[in-house]
Amino acid sequence: MKRTLAVIALVLLAGCGSTTQPGPSPSPGPTPSPGQSPAASPTAAPADVCHVGGVTYCVLNPAVTQGTIRQTICVAGWTKTIRPPVNYTDTLKRQQIAAFASRHPNDPNWTTGGTEEDHRMPLDLGGDPRDSGNLSPEEPPSPNPKDHDEADLGGSQGRVCRGEMTLAQAQQQMVSTWLGPYPDYAH
């Protein structure tokens, strides 16, 4: 498990060289205290979850909000309609692995075959499908520990669509569990 977490940290660091800039986003609101969930307001700025304390952890799809979940993430198969093609993600993965390898030449674990290009904020939770700031190589490829949380929280059968938590709460949980624990990760 320690190796998996260390590798996930390295994966997150590898994706920091994004050249795609997200469009203008609303000013972030107050950052929740540790253990506090974000406000359950459907009008809350979606960028608040990905931008905390000057650190960018992910990029959200502006089409997915609390008000649109019944037409987007809660529709079975919806993510297939927005998922980028493999040739796009494979090209991006090769670029990101090369950037990481040049910064960390003594780490032999980074190969295109040993990783998958993964959405930091899952598509099932409103992550941007194509922005390189929301994609990075992940080792090991699926299935991996992060996949369990993605399935529990997102998609048509997840906790958000069952009404057990808001989209913002689920996104915050992904950031605090899988992205936030690595303080060196920043855009």
Please provide the average confidence, as pLDDT, over all residues in the chain.
74
CA distance 98 to 115: 13
Nearest to 46, CA basis, from 152, 137, 177, 169: 169
User: What pLDDT score does 103 carry?
Assistant: 67
Helix crossing, 167-174 with 145-153: angle to 10°? 170
pTM, 2 dp: 0.71
Per-residue pLDDT reduced to its tens digit, 39-73: 333 334 444 789 888 888 899 999 999 999 999 99
User: What pLDDT score does 54 carry?
Assistant: 83
Nearest to 18, CA basis, from 59, 60, 63, 50: 59
- Find the distance separating the first CA and the last CA of the chain, reported in whole Å: 26
Whether pLDDT at 146 is above 70: yes
Domain ranges of the chain: 2-15+46-179
User: What pLDDT score does 134 carry?
Assistant: 93
